[in-house]
Structure 1
């Protein structure tokens, strides 16, 4: 439970803030209602983002303790205040031409108007997030270093034929289909958003590759007897290179793609932006702690298909986001589809372990 101690502490604090906010706006009934909705939003965020935690863990397990702590500190601040509060405010600000302070005033005084502006820009955000997440899924599917194939020979054949270029081509086709489905007045903005999603994915990968190429080979230096650098800044630079700024950015953009869908879904429950932020913050904190738990416990090594299930869930989420440009898809379906893939992958992993244990 030590991995979740901070999450429980943050939950206690945020629930107290939620209770105070509810009481100050509606007395005791307001307090009870605020606590209930905050709890529901926290659970919803965890259920919608468990696959995000698994994918995060698949990246984070290759990082050192410094970057793992950074992910839980700076990363959670970015996730909570950046992606779940500031990001929606910026979207409404750009859409309306108002300043952030004015948008915040709108969100707290006329939440219905704020919610309408936010949902009116859903198509653009869905195109961005859908394109980015689809590339995450396809590049996992086409990864030539992947030795295990969850879906057997079919996945193996697809893996053999796929390349990064094909992943980009397929995603561009998906964005084009998304544009064709969308309203005429939004075609340009949806297309631009999808292209930006593709560009961000490629850009983050490029930064990661650049850092890896420029990373000093510490092991070779040690074998050759080279003296370790005594300069603290030099050590920090090496740590940053090894930990991967690109990887950190990748996880934050991945979280952004997940988070906005949760924000939109939250408005179906309440239009109180403060309660939404508090509830989603609790969920985001537990998702981060869950990520570190999966890393430290070696869960991805123990349940070998869990990472596969999470990526397939992300693939489905990407298609749902792209389709949501035209069609309304209930949040419960989005959440359950992800959970279903996770559960099936866990079951497949247990079968794999039993089969190999019997052969040993």
Structure 2
């Protein structure tokens, strides 16, 4: 698989990355054996970037990754870890602000290193910011871990342009992880131009809009009780019907170029620039194989125009998160 560099100072990674969250959390039941087989298949297919979070399944996700990475040359795998969200024993999320003060940064990394079975993390980033902790303090603590050899690169997640500037002034930032898809294009206004000005790469999550752009979603699909999409406005009532109409239009474009809807959606994100790396959230090997094929899909100007006509910017119905979550996103301010 072709490689891309994350920003001007980040690591070289595969054109596509694997987002492992759904193997442990938030999207309903998953099978551990299939998850591990999918991670193995991703590495075998040339994917070198695996994204996780220490709070995904309260550490379960890191343990899945450990089972695969221990079989490989550690230097061949780029592991990106988010930290900060606080969990409860019942599996829920605590309403407390993210755990991002300097002492917590080092404490949480200690547990991550043990769970992953490694002595360093390639990219370490707060999943969200704590409004009471300056971003410079959080970045500074990660920078100390870089100096000590426990972290190789500093990343950020879901921050706005002004915060990105402040963070980059404190320490070089390899990449910003943020939602970006045909249905979520808010970063194009100021965040993406600022990242490019600062030499910061983008790892795009939600490229299939949590399954809406997969081509496999149906209006009558029943969600498990722990599937957070049941709270996301885009999956509700009229919003869902309107969004699936957009997917149908995208499906006609995909059919015309002998590709699936998911492949076109992933390839579109990859086409936005060599500084963007889409994260695919496949939980099964068949879905992974479909996504990996998008790395070879070349979209020409005619294809891109047809995609734009099918899913125009701003056409998505409903927000990408529930309102209470949107209000806490630095990237939405």
Q: What TM-score range do you get, normalising by the shorter chain?
A: under 0.3
Q: Which has the higher contact order (CA 8 A, sep 6+)?
A: 1
Bigger Rg over Cα? 1
Greater helix proportion: 1
Instruction: Give the TM-score, by structure 2 length.
Output: 0.26
Instruction: Give the TM-score, by structure 1 length.
Output: 0.24
Greater strand proportion: 2
